[in-house]
Amino acid sequence: MEDLKDVFISPLPDSPYVKPFRFNYTQNGKQKSWDLLEVHDSVAIIVFNITRKVMVFVKQFRPAIYYNCISPEDRKSTTIDTSKYPASLGIALEMCAGIIDKDKSVEHIAQEEVLEECGYSVPLSGLHRITSYRSGVGVQGALQTFFYCEVTDAMKTEQGGGVDDELIEVVEKTIPEIEEMVNSPGPIPSPPSCLFALMWFLYNKADKFRKTYEHHCAECKKGKMVFVK
Ligand SMILES: O=c1ccn([C@@H]2O[C@H](COP(=O)(O)OP(=O)(O)O[C@H]3O[C@H](CO)[C@@H](O)[C@H](O)[C@H]3O)[C@@H](O)[C@H]2O)c(=O)[nH]1
Ligand SMILES: [Mg+2]
Residues composing the chain: 229
Sign for the CA dihedral angle at 185, 187, 192, 193 comes to: negative
Residue closest by Cα to atom 29 of ligand 1? 99
Q: pLDDT digit of tens for each residue in the chain (229 aa)?
A: 899 999 999 999 999 999 999 999 999 999 999 999 999 999 999 999 999 999 999 999 999 999 999 999 999 999 999 999 999 999 999 999 999 999 999 999 999 999 999 999 999 999 999 999 999 999 999 999 999 999 999 999 999 999 999 999 999 999 999 999 999 999 999 999 999 999 999 999 999 998 665 666 666 677 666 555 4
Query: Which ligand has its closest atom nearest to the C-alpha of 196?
Result: 1
Name all residues whose Cβ lies below 6 A of ligand 1.
17, 42, 44, 94, 97-99, 135, 144, 164-166, 191, 193
66 secondary structure, DSSP code: H
State in Å: Cα 40 to ligand 1 middle.
9
Q: What are phi and psi of 180, to 5 degrees?
A: -60, -40
Contact status, residue 194 vs residue 93, Cβ threshold 8 Å: yes
How many Å apart are CA 199 and CA 179, to the nearest integer? Answer: 9
End-to-end CA distance of the chain: 36
Could you tell me the pTM of the whole model? Answer: 0.91
Closest listed residue to residue 153, CA positions, set 43, 56, 52? 52
What domains can be seen in the chain, in order of their start residue?
A: 19-220 (3.90.79.10)
